[in-house]
Structure 1
Amino acid sequence: MKENVHQTTQIIGGMVAGDNLRHAEQLKAALESQDSAFAKAIEQVVKVRDFVGSPEQILGSDKTKHGEIAEQVEVGIRNARDYLRQQTPSATFEGVGRTAPEDYLINSVQVQSKFINGLNKNLDHVLEHMSKYDNFGREGSYYHIPRDYYETIQKVLKGESVEGLANRTLQKIQQKAQEIEEFSGKSFSAVVKPGISNYTEVQQGKLHDTLDRHEQKLSDENKQIKENIRTDVQPNLGDMAQVAGKGALIGGGIRLAFKVYEKYKQGKNPFKGDYTADDWKEIGIDTAKGAAFGGIAAGAIYALTNFASLSAPFAGSFVSAGQVIASLANELNLGAISFDQFAELSQLACMESAAAALASVLGQAVIPIPVLGAVLGTIAGRIVIDFSKKYLGKETEKLQRQMDEYYNQCLAKIDQTYRAVVSIIIAEYEKLGDLTKAAFDTGKNVALRLQASIQLAEAYEVSETDIIHDIDELDAFMLS
């Protein structure tokens, strides 16, 4: 049974490690993809900078060049945002003549940009363009005007007061907006829409500051997107449930295989009809227990590897050791084994955990053979004490003294040169602290930490009535 527990938890630990590796690879790929998207976004801003860097190539006089600059900013920044969000670029100049009715396409729809100084003058130019091109503004195409102008016009159309505008100006705005609606047969907001830029932002003396601000916004949004990516692939309750489900299948399958093999050694073959109803019942109960253990172990290992930053082998051996010690403690309480037997068997059960702990602490460092037994035995003893506190009560002190005596006896048998080595290794292990407390790290997300604590408590076979399952139960306990 004890070998079965260790084998099951190590297999489940390998499964959890595989899942964790998959998540790490997904995170790496997603972050690399986002870095590429950000680079493409910045390339769009650079294109706009290159365009305005050659003012002699821009149409119009110094007083009107901002019109074509506004077009470049609209297309460039819009596409930069699309690239950053890993979407298909929505704006283009492709297929648009420099003096065509439209200035650019957005989602394949024709758009004419009007960046004229003055609210009413912008509307005048829209009306003039609509008169010249019979279909423009009627069949889905529309106009862009400066964003700040558009917002002011909307306030006027809603009857809101606008500081600095005379009543005559307000009336003209309302009149021209009505004419646009009559021309198009559509609402004003369907024909005239806000561009990305305010009027002053695309003036030659302001443009580089404008592009700097857009770059900073792109950078800030990129940081937020990457943070969201990290959050999305972080350990969560959904993944924990899936891992627990896989663990239940593994645990149940292994227990079923062991039980069938055990029956086979007794001369019973299920394919020959040798099983009685009691045999099937026994196998069913044993398989169910295996599934329950597998689910709990998988959840606990997932919690320890993801929330307490323990390696999967260490977490697996840690959970299996807890199960074995719980079983030995039950045998001790029933009188089936003595206290000394409990101490010896528990220490042996934790040797695997001790070896995994050493691997986690020291990596590939070589441990001198003369001190290996002492180190493993000492660490195993500390793990035993950790797990046994809840089962032994006052006898924990006796167990502590027994483990300390073992440690001192080991040191006495070791050459003085190696004693310092043992002390250093044990000190490194002690930096891990109380392994159980690691699973309840107060720096973790409350919901995930609570779920991790539940899984670990179940792995320790804590009574269901003694486990706090949610915040409400915690509040009730604290206020009782």
Structure 2
Amino acid sequence: MKENIHQTTQIIGDMVAADNLRHAQQVKVALDSQDSAFAKAIEQIGKVRNFVETPEHILGNEKTKHGEIAQQVEVGIRNARDYLRQQTPSATFEGVGRTAPEDYLIDSIQVQSKFINGLNKNLDHVLEHMNKYENFGRDGSYYHLPRDYYETIQKVVKGESVEGLASSTVQKIQQKAQEIEQLSGKSFSEVVKPGISRYSEVQQGNIHETLDRHEQKLSNENKRIKESLGTNAQPNLGDMAQVAGKGALIGGGIRLAFKLYEKYKQGKNLFRGDYTADDWKEIGIDTAKGATVGGIAAGTIYALTNFASLSAPLAASFVSAGQVIASLVNDLNAGEISFDQFTELSQLACMESAAAALASALGQVIIPVPVLGAVLGTIAGRIAIDSSKKYLGKETERLQRQMDEYYNQSLAKIDQTYREVVSRIVAEYEKLGDLTKAAFDTGKNVALRLQASIQLAEAYEVSETDIIHEINELDAFMLS
């Protein structure tokens, strides 16, 4: 049974590690995809820059070239935003002649751009175009005006007061807006819409600064998207529940397989109908226990690997050690094993955890072979004591004395040269191990956990400026 617990937990640990790896790969793919999307967005800005850098190829004179520049900005920036959000580009010049009724297509709909100096002049050009092309503005196609001009015209149309406009100008705007509605049979806002740019932004003297601003906005939004991807990728209770569900299936399945094999060794064949109602009841209870233990183990390993930053093998070894200790306590209480046997078996059960913990705490430090057994045995004893405290109560002190006795006996058999090495290694493990346990002990109050976290950070030599020292600092960090 004890061996089965270790095997099952390690299998579940491997499953959690694979899940974590797959999740990390998915996040990397998403971030790489976003980087590619940002590169395509910036490429669209580059196309507009290339266009405006050869003004001799732009239609119109020095006072009217901004009209075609506005068209390039409209299409380029719209597509840049689409690429950044990993959407299909919505605007295009493809299939549009340079002197066609439309200037570009947005979502396959014809759009005519009017960037004329003066509110009424823009509306005059719209009416002139509608009279020239009898279907335009009536079949779903529409006009773009400078964004700032459009906003002012809309206020006038709605009867709002606009500072600086003469009453005669207001009357003309309202009159022309009504004419547009009469010609189209639609509301003004359906036929005339705001473009991306203000009138001043597309002038030759301002266009490079305008493109710089758009590029910065794209960069800021890209950063926000990537931060959101990172936030959504953080460990959460929903994922933990899913992992626990998988663990339950694994734990239940393994326990079922072992139980069926046990019955087979007893001479009972499932396929020959040898099982009694009691057999099925026993199998059902055992499988349910396996599922419960597997679910708890998977959830615990997920929490340790994602919230406490332990490696999956280390987390799995700690979880399995805890499960074996619990089983040994039951055997001890049932009188099936003596306390001395419990001490020896619990130490053996934690040997795997000791090896994993030692590797995690000390990294690549080489431990001399003559002291390896003493070090592993001592750390296994420490883990066994920690795992047994909640079950043994006052008997923990007795276990502690026996483990200390083992430690002293081990040191006595080691050459004096190595005794200091053993003491130093064990002290290093205990310094990090105890602090880590305290930092993630949810049973302690917030202040104590924060203090333990500070000590842990200091032990790991985290910069003092990066350590949160007070609850207020923690609240500010979490809400930032």
- Shorter-chain TM-score: which interval? 0.7 to 0.9
Residues 18-54 of structure 1: CA distance to partner in whole angstroms, max 9, x if unpaired?
1111111111111111111111111111111111111
- Per-residue CA deviation, residues 140-191 of structure 1 (Å, 9 max, x unaligned), is 1111111111122222222222222222222222111111111111111111
Instruction: Please state whether the residue corresponding to 1:135 is helix, strand or coil.
Output: coil
Q: Distance in 2 between matches of 1:284 and 1:418?
A: 53
Alignment of 1:63-462 (within 5 A): 63-363=63-363, 366-430=366-430, 432-434=432-434, 437=437, 440=440
CA distance in 2, matches of 1:392, 1:272: 46
Cα 1:416/1:200, change in 2 over 3 Å: farther
Of structures 1 and 2, the one scoring higher in RCO (CA 8 A, sep 6+) is 1
**Alpha carbons of structure 1 residues 106 and 358: separation in structure 2 relative to 1, 3 Å:** same
TM-superposed deviation, 1:335: 4.5
Moved more, 344-353 or 417-426: 417-426
Shift of 1:399: 3.1
Q: RMSD value over aligned CA atoms?
A: 2.2
Cα deviation 1:246-286 (Å, max 9, x = unaligned): 11111111111111111111111122222221111111111
Give 3-state SS (helix, strand or coil) of 1:433's partner. helix
SS of 2:162 mapped into structure 1: coil
* 1:193 aligned counterpart, secondary structure: strand
State the partner residue of 1:51.
51
Q: 1:186 to 1:411 in 2, by over 3 A?
A: same
Alignment partners' CA distance in 1, 2:426 and 2:186: 80
* Counterpart residue number, 1:468: none
Cα distance between partner residues in 1 of 2:124 and 2:184:
15
1:84, 1:94 → 2: CA distance?
Answer: 21
Name the stretch that deviates more: 391-400 or 285-294.
Answer: 391-400
Q: Distance in 2 between matches of 1:71 and 1:249?
A: 60
The CA distance in 2 between the partners of 1:162 and 1:381, in whole Å, is: 82
- Aligned partner letter, 1:179: E
Q: Distance in 1 between matches of 2:102 and 2:225?
A: 34
Q: Can you list the C-alpha shifts for 1:427-476, whole angstroms capped at 9, x where unaligned?
A: 4434543487478478xxx9xxxxxxxxxxxxxxxxxxxxxxxxxxxxxx
Q: Counterparts of 1:386 and 1:115 in 2: how far apart (Å)?
A: 76
What is the one-letter code of the residue matched to 2:46? V
Structure 2: which amino acid aligns with 1:239? D
Report the Cα distance in structure 1 between the residues aligned to 2:125 and 2:330, rounded to whole angstroms: 90
Query: How far apart are the structure 1 equivalents of 2:435 and 2:18?
Result: 22
Counterpart Cα distance in 2 of 1:380 and 1:66: 77
Aligned length: 444
* Aligned-partner SS, 1:111: strand
Aligned identity (percent) is: 85
In structure 2, relative to structure 1, the CA distance for the partners of 1:418 and 1:231 (3 Å cut) is: same
Match of 1:27 in 2: 27
After TM superposition, give the deviation of residue 411 of structure 1 in Å. Answer: 2.7
Q: CA deviation at 1:91?
A: 0.9
Amino acid at match of 1:201: E
User: What SS does the aligned partner of 1:143 have?
Assistant: strand
1:113 maps to a residue whose letter is S
Q: Distance in 2 between matches of 1:134 and 1:419?
A: 99
* Separation of aligned partners in 1, 2:94 and 2:439: 58
State the alpha-carbon separation in 1 of the partners of residues 178 and 247 from structure 2.
68
Letter of the structure 1 residue corresponding to residue 139 of structure 2: E
Residues 224/81 of structure 1: CA separation in 2 closer, same or farther (3 Å cut): same
* Structure 1 pair 21–101 and aligned structure 2 pair: CA distance change class (3 A): same
Distance 1:197 1:430, change over 3 A: farther
1:364 Cα shift? 5.5
Taking the aligned partners of 1:152 and 1:128, their CA distance within structure 2 comes to 21
Q: Distance in 1 between matches of 2:212 and 2:70?
A: 15
Whether the aligned pair in 2 keeps the contact of 1:307 and 1:439 (CA below 8 Å) is no
Call closer, same or farther: CA 1:420–1:50 in 2, change over 3 Å.
farther
CA deviation map 1:382-424 (0-9, x unaligned): 2122222222333434433433333333233223343344344
Measure the CA separation in 2 of the matches of 1:221 and 1:428.
45
Q: Cα 1:388–1:116, aligned 2, differ >3 Å: closer, same or farther?
A: same
Say which SS state the counterpart of residue 283 (structure 2) adopts.
helix
**What letter matches 1:60 in structure 2?**
G
Distance in 1 between residues matched to 2:41 and 2:431, nearest whole Å: 45
Shift of residue 2, structure 1, vs aligned partner: 0.9
Distance 2:242 2:15 in 1: 12
Taking the aligned partners of 2:259 and 2:321, their CA distance within structure 1 comes to 22
Q: TM-score, normalised by structure 2?
A: 0.87
CA displacement at 1:336 relative to structure 2: 4.2
Deviates more, 1:299-308 or 1:162-171: 162-171
CA contact (8 A) 1:308 1:439 kept: no
Mind listing any 5+ residue stretches in structure 2 that lack a counterpart? 447-480
Q: Secondary structure at the match of 1:110?
A: strand
In the alignment, residue 216 of structure 2 is paired with which amino acid? Answer: Q
Distance apart, 1:88 and its partner CA? 1.0
1:157–1:400 distance in 2 versus 1, CA, 3 Å: farther
User: 1:90/1:405 Cα in 2 relative to 1: closer, same or farther (>3 Å)?
Assistant: same
Equivalent pair of 1:303/1:439 in contact (CA under 8 Å) = no
- Provide closer, same or farther for how the CA distance between residues 259 and 211 of structure 1 changes in structure 2, counting only shifts above 3 A: same
TM-score, reference length from structure 1:
0.87
Structure 1 CA distance, aligned partners of 2:283 and 2:23? 36
Aligned amino acid, residue 33 of structure 2: S
Kindly provide the CA deviation profile for residues 192-227 of structure 1, in whole angstroms up to 9, marking residues without a partner as x: 111111111111222122111111111111111111
Residue identity in the other structure for 2:64: T
Contact 1:386 1:434 in 2 (8 A): no
Separation of aligned partners in 1, 2:281 and 2:136? 80
User: 1:453: which partner in 2?
Assistant: none
The answer (yes or no) to whether the contact 1:10–1:316 under 8 Å persists in 2 is yes
CA-to-partner distance for each residue in 1:54-108, whole Å, 9 max, x for gaps? 1222122222111111111111111111111111111111111112111111111
Q: Secondary structure in 2 aligned to 1:105?
A: strand
CA distance in 2, matches of 1:427, 1:165: 82
